[in-house]
Structures are given as structure tokens and as C-alpha cells.
Amino acid sequence: MTIRILIADDQELIRTGFRLFLRTQDDLEVVGEAADGHEALTQSAALAPDVVLMDIRMPHMDGVEATARLTALGAAPRVLILTTYDLDEYVFGALRAGASGFLLKDASRDRLLEAIHVVHSGEALLSPSITRRLIEDYATRTEPLRPPAEPPTPLTPRERETLLLVAKGLSNPEIAAHLVVTEATVKSHVGSLFAKLHLRDRAQAVVFAYENGYVTPG
């Protein structure tokens, strides 16, 4: 299966570097490029990429707003945020906007390939530092979190437990070990709670759990 990729970055040299490398991979196809958020939206609509490599700081429309508009669409591509620093103030906004993860621009080639495949598969690409900062952000808030609204089809106790573990950043194998079940069972629980809560991937699940009070920081 070929993964279709759109590269959105205002620096031509960076776009060219990504494009030349990604074209060496048999299962990846660079279908287009964009120099700002507006172009990313236009190109996505025209080319239907599977994954968008999205820079955050771009003119006219930044990557956060472009991500929010993209992920609001029904059949939206996965968005992998490109950032210079893992503590970029915009990373949190991008995750809340629906990004599936982030990647440092100085990451290795192997890490770039891994990141593309991870987000394409529906997993989240969140480093421990980002997950920790996200949790700390909620932990330091003074306003009360709104109580969780029960979805039309209520979560089972095991699905709620799985959501809590996902929000803590645990992988499927780690959740399976914690719950003493198989990975297949965990995948079933994760898929079910995603469907009930209308979530696309684990990044959204982490944000949702804290935003809606399913998990209390600390």
C-alpha cells in the first residue's frame, strides 16, 4: 500500500529535502507541496493525501489553524506536525486541533519514516516530553474541568480504564500487561472507545481525556 504525502512548509529547501528523500521509498509517494496553511488546505482538497507533514510557523495561515480546518473534514488526512523545538508553544494547540503527532525537523531519516507510518496507521506520535508537558498543563489549571459527558453509547468500565491508560501515554503492549489481557483485546477496547467518543487516534484520546475530566492530572 502506497502512502500519499503532502509536504507543507514555508521553506523551499526543507520541502525539497523531504521530497527527495521520501521519493526513495517504494511505499511512499509525495503528491504535492504547500508553502503555507492556505495552500495546504487547497492541495489537500485536490490531492487527497493520506498524511500531511505540517510545519507550524508559516505565513498567511499557520499550521495550527490549517490542522484544525483539515481535521474538521470528514475524510481528513493524518497530520504530522513538523517543529524545530519539542517545547514549541504551538505544539499543544496543534494537538488540540487534531494533529496525530509531531516530529522534530532535525530527526533522523529513519525516525521520519517511522513517524509517517505510525500516524498513518492511526497511532499517535507523542514523545514523553510532550505527553508530560500536556499533562502538566492541565494539572496547573485553576478552572475546574467540566464533568465528562456520557456518550450516546456509554463506555464500559474496561473501556474507561483503557482510556485512562491511553491518556497516560501507555502503548498497547503496556496496556495489555497492565490489564493482564492480550494485545488483540486492548485493540478491541481502544477501537470501541474511539468509535463511541468519535476520536480518530490516540493523540485525540489524550487531549479528550483531560479536556473532559475523564482523567484528573496527578
What value does the mean pLDDT of the chain take?
A: 84
The band of 66, judged by pLDDT with boundaries at 50, 70 and 90, is very high
In a domain? residue 110:
yes
Same domain, 51 and 121: yes
Domain total in the chain: 2
Q: Dig out the grid coordinates for 106 from the structure.
A: 532535525
Q: Are 86 and 159 in the same domain?
A: no
Question: Does residue 130 lie in a domain region?
Answer: no
Residue 145: DSSP 8-state: P
Q: Are 10 and 48 members of one domain? A: yes
Considering the domain architecture, whether residues 161 and 99 belong to the same structural domain is answered as no
Check residue 122 and give its pLDDT: 75
Provide the pairing of β-strand 78-83 with 101-104.
parallel
- The mean pLDDT of 40-48, rounded to a whole number, is 95
C-alpha cell at 110: 529513519
* CATH code where residue 73 lies: 3.40.50.2300
Range of 184's domain? Answer: 143-211
Q: What is the pTM of this model?
A: 0.74
Q: What is the DSSP letter of 2?
A: P
Alpha-carbon distance values, 113 to 19, 124, 147 (Å): 12, 14, 39
Whether 26 and 59 map to the same domain: the answer is yes
Least confident interval from 20-24, 137-141, 150-154: 137-141
Decide if 92 is inside a domain: yes
Same domain, residue pair 23 and 99: yes
Instruction: Tell which of 90, 125, 160 closes a domain.
Output: 125
Kindly state the average pLDDT of the residues 147-155: 70
Indicate if 13 and 119 belong to the same structural domain. Answer: yes
Do the domain assignments include residue 134? no
From residue 201, give the alpha-carbon distance in Å to each of 126, 140, 193, 206.
12, 25, 11, 9
Which of 70, 99, 125 terminates a domain? The answer is 125
